[in-house]
Structure 1
Amino acid sequence: MKELWKQRPFRWYWLGLFLSGLGDQMGWMALSWYVMERTQSSVAMGGIIMAYMLPAVFAGLVAGVLLDRYDRRKLIVVDNIGRSLIFLGLVLLLAMEVIPLYFVYILVVLAGMLSPLSSAGAQTLLPRLVPKKELLVKANGVMESQWQIVYMLGPAVAGVLIGWIGPANVLILDAIGLLICAFCFSRLPRQLVGRQEPSGAAETKAGQVGPFLRSLWTDMRTGYRYLFGRKQMLMLVIFTFLFNMGYGPVEVALPLYANQNLEAGAVGLGMLWSALAVGALLGSLLFTSIRWKVSTGVTLGGIIVIWGLATLPLAFFTRLEIAMLAMGIAGLSFSPYNIIYRSYLQREVPDELLGRVMTSIRTITGTGMPAGAAVCGVLIPLMGVQGLLGAGAAACVVIGIVALGLLRGLDRASLAIDQGSSDALHPVGQKGIELGEERKP
């Protein structure tokens, strides 16, 4: 672990994402609370989540091509500066007495379209910052612990600040965090993270719009061709999509659960999210400190089952301490999922395809949570908040049990590819890149 912290680029990387993530947690909670106060509508709350998530998913296809063609560091800087300006625009809207909600939606959509440059870009940069493969899982564990610290501090601080300075000023803090993140990524050495030479598709001359768009379309399909050529990886992505969809009820219903069922207000909501983050932080620290020997597929399927069981008490109890305990256990069980899942993809996908493959995968997995959130916004008036939380928990248990059986061969499939199985090779892209060729670190 010390070897990671000795590297200055990794420290800039960690600091930028930490401050950006902390601001985003506070800003997102402030925006959700504002929408709930103004509309008292679960449909509107689900719509805000969809307005951010869905554009991010589909804009990610173009972002993935850009991340593989150009300097990933610069693209992340552009995203953070752009979203900072958008959130400052939201501050101006929140300062007005009468605000058409669709103006808020427009700005949220724009922010969502920019966000894949950082969300996918940061993941594609990590293997370059950590050239030793044996340190990659540890690095992902450090980053997962960082996110859990952010989730632990952000909602709790936001719950206090919303009542003290108002949601608009909390969004200003989010914008500041994004600007600092842009500065931190600008400090990364270009020779380490910048692309050394453009891909063949990027060699289109300026002004040749038609060839550029055709090459863009070809590159966008490359990620899908890689994914659909690997059955076990595709199955993992599908189960991650279903898991995200099962998580949707928590994202939408928890503010209503805290406000209506627990009668705990914004402070109670912050405590619930912080309980989830504390549990997740402990889970990620424990996981990275031990030598885990259970197979990848069985571990991921088991995590989905345990998440469902852990969140089930929310459907039956209306006491804050019980809800916090349930969220803490859920976080403890969940955090290793991201570490294992991201490390698996970063290890299996060649660096020159990583941006396109990761964003192609995100168009599948990323629709899970907003789809679940949208369905929840419609079902809450029919089933009630606690009824929907119970349904989401039960769905995760069923999904996890099925995954336990179907993902058992995940590690065996990876081993077959690493040994150079000729059956797994397919040419992709204009240069005919072999999917099974030696991977860059």
Structure 2
Amino acid sequence: MAEAARGPGTGPGFRGIWAGSACSNLADGIGFVALPLLAASLTSDPLAVAGLTAVHALTRVAAVLGTGLLVDRADRRRLLVLANLLRAALFAGLAALLALDGLALAALYAASALAGVLELVSDGAAVAVLPRAVPARDLDRANSRIAGTQTVLDGFAGPPLGGLLFGWAAAAPVAAAALAYLGAALGFRAAPGGRRPAPAERPGPLREIGEGLRWTARHPVVRVLVAVSAIASTAYMIPFSYLVLYAREVLGLGPAGYGLLLSCTAAGALAGAWAAPRLAARAGYRRSMAAALLTGAAAFAVVAAAGHPAVVAAALAVYFAHTLVWNVLAVSVRQRAVPAALLGRVGSVTRMAGLLGLALGSVLGGLLAGWLGMSAPFGVAAALFAGAALVVAAAGPAFARWERERAGE
């Protein structure tokens, strides 16, 4: 493949995936701010506003395995284009309702739920199609570039842009997100296409989903990634479920200070995306991933012991650097280890583990903060990350065997 010989960033397939991901992440960042602001403009009931996030999360949990099957059954390029065209149409419809003063809270709930499902489809297809655009040896660099761009647009650019546009007109950020999703659809048109040949007798959807679950459970490396995803997602959400209260009550930060604290985390994530392929090249996947998890544990331990805003900001930046190292390398391992026909379903198993971990961590975070105080749950999360690092370290023989098998790529 000529594009493979040139490496990531030079071929049209990768550039299309990169551009499409950039536009969709910008739209996601705008929507992340705009939709709750719209809900708050429609009702003053805190439970009703929080329900928007709950509906978004629960819909994703319910749909994630089915969207993984769809990614494996359909032409992934067409799926990417269609999912983002539908998101563009969805947000354009919301903008039209706002312009006509006809937006109801129920419509906003429905839009949030549908957007969550389409996000799963788009993200799953983007991960699954990337190995067709770049050679296996370049997946680390390709995933790093995509993750770094996501950090800049979804973390730095999208949310403040959404807030500024909402201050100008309520429909403005929604319309801007629609245009960005349209740009994503145009970018993804350059992604590699091709439908997986259907078997003569296709099993039912439940059996195909079960095939992905069984393959994941049997693979000694991928099942470790799934287990660690569940542990790490739980550990992450334990303190982040109440971080805004911790920032106010422990650090003494107001809204502007809290926003600055979050911007420091995005800076750390950008550094982690840059470092990930370099660490893997020097130390290998297992060592790099275990070291990243230990770094996350150390960062949360520092937060648990500190109470100074500058120290906490630095520690959280280090924490998010570890997160990006883990995410980039875990995705690369999965893309290299999983057969192309199963990438959607196996990826959906990992996402399911992560989503369930986030839900569990949200509950535990509130309970632990009430029982132990605002700082101690960071220590609990640090212990979980240390345990996750031990899980990766214990899988050393499996990782070594897998890396030897893939050494010739």
Q: In structure 2, what is the Cα distance between the partners aligned to 1:318 and 1:186?
A: 49
Partner of 1:430 in structure 2?
none
- 1:348-363 aligned at under 5 Å gives the runs 348-363=337-352
Structure 1 residues 381 and 159, CA gap change in structure 2 (3 angstroms): farther
Among residues 336, 341, 344, which one is paired with 2:330 in the alignment?
Answer: 341
Q: In structure 2, what is the Cα distance between the partners aligned to 1:327 and 1:34?
A: 29
Partner of 1:193 in structure 2?
193
Among residues 48, 57, 63, which one is paired with 1:53 in the alignment?
Answer: 57
Asked whether the 8 Å contact 1:54–1:370 carries over to 2, the reply is: no
1:7 aligns with 2:17: no
Structure 1 residues 20 and 29, CA gap change in structure 2 (3 angstroms): same
Partner of 2:223 in structure 1?
234
Among residues 80, 89, 106, which one is paired with 1:85 in the alignment?
Answer: 89
Partner of 1:105 in structure 2?
109
Asked whether the 8 Å contact 1:56–1:113 carries over to 2, the reply is: yes
Secondary structure in structure 1 of the residue aligned to 2:204: helix
Structure 1 residues 194 and 270, CA gap change in structure 2 (3 angstroms): farther
1:305-340 deviations in Å (ceiling 9; x for gaps): 432442456667777655533332222232101111
Q: CA deviation at 1:252?
A: 3.8
Q: CA deviation at 1:369?
A: 1.7
Q: Which moved more, 1:118-127 or 1:227-236?
A: 227-236
Asked whether the 8 Å contact 1:297–1:404 carries over to 2, the reply is: no
Identity percentage of aligned residues: 24
Asked whether the 8 Å contact 2:246–2:374 carries over to 1, the reply is: no
Asked whether the 8 Å contact 1:297–1:409 carries over to 2, the reply is: no
Q: In structure 2, what is the Cα distance between the partners aligned to 1:233 and 1:322?
A: 35
Asked whether the 8 Å contact 1:304–1:396 carries over to 2, the reply is: no
Among residues 213, 238, 242, which one is paired with 1:253 in the alignment?
Answer: 242
Q: In structure 2, what is the Cα distance between the partners aligned to 1:162 and 1:272?
A: 22
TM-score w.r.t. the length of structure 1 is: 0.78
Q: Which amino acid letter does the alignment assign opposite residue 405 of structure 1?
A: L
Asked whether the 8 Å contact 2:293–2:389 carries over to 1, the reply is: no
Q: CA deviation at 1:162?
A: 5.6
Number of matched residues?
403
Q: CA deviation at 1:241?
A: 1.0
Structure 1 residues 388 and 295, CA gap change in structure 2 (3 angstroms): farther
TM-score w.r.t. the length of structure 2 is: 0.83
1:264 aligns with 2:254: yes
Partner of 2:74 in structure 1?
70
- 1:280-429 aligned at under 5 Å gives the runs 280-289=269-278, 292-294=281-283, 296-311=285-300, 321-373=310-362, 376=365, 379=367, 382=370, 387-388=373-374, 390-391=376-377, 393-416=378-401
Q: In structure 2, what is the Cα distance between the partners aligned to 1:249 and 1:35?
A: 25
Q: CA deviation at 1:46?
A: 5.5
Partner of 2:262 in structure 1?
273
Secondary structure in structure 1 of the residue aligned to 2:242: helix
Asked whether the 8 Å contact 2:33–2:159 carries over to 1, the reply is: no
Q: In structure 1, what is the Cα distance between the partners aligned to 2:306 and 2:279?
A: 34
Please, which runs of 5 or more residues in structure 2 have no aligned partner? Answer: none
Structure 1 residues 370 and 52, CA gap change in structure 2 (3 angstroms): farther
Structure 1 residues 101 and 357, CA gap change in structure 2 (3 angstroms): same
Q: CA deviation at 1:278?
A: 1.2
1:390-440 deviations in Å (ceiling 9; x for gaps): 41x2233112222232322435314546778xxxxxxxxxxxxxxxxx9xx
1:349-375 deviations in Å (ceiling 9; x for gaps): 111211121112222222222343355
- 1:129-208 aligned at under 5 Å gives the runs 129-131=133-135, 133-154=136-157, 157-158=160-161, 161=164, 164-165=167-168, 168-188=171-191, 192-195=192-195, 197-200=196-199
Asked whether the 8 Å contact 1:306–1:397 carries over to 2, the reply is: no
Q: CA deviation at 1:388?
A: 5.0
Secondary structure in structure 1 of the residue aligned to 2:197: coil
Q: Which amino acid letter does the alignment assign opposite residue 199 of structure 1?
A: A
Q: Which amino acid letter does the alignment assign opposite residue 198 of structure 1?
A: P
Q: CA deviation at 1:245?
A: 1.8
Structure 1 residues 35 and 305, CA gap change in structure 2 (3 angstroms): farther
Q: Which amino acid letter does the alignment assign opposite residue 342 of structure 1?
A: V
Secondary structure in structure 2 of the residue aligned to 1:246: helix
Q: CA deviation at 1:346?
A: 0.9
Asked whether the 8 Å contact 1:303–1:334 carries over to 2, the reply is: yes
Q: CA RMSD in A?
A: 3.6
Asked whether the 8 Å contact 2:29–2:162 carries over to 1, the reply is: no
1:114 aligns with 2:113: no
Q: Which moved more, 1:315-324 or 1:301-310?
A: 315-324
Q: In structure 2, what is the Cα distance between the partners aligned to 1:255 and 1:416?
A: 44
Q: Which moved more, 1:346-355 or 1:362-371?
A: 362-371
Please, which runs of 5 or more residues in structure 1 have no aligned partner? Answer: 205-211, 421-437
Asked whether the 8 Å contact 1:49–1:370 carries over to 2, the reply is: no
Q: CA deviation at 1:121?
A: 0.6
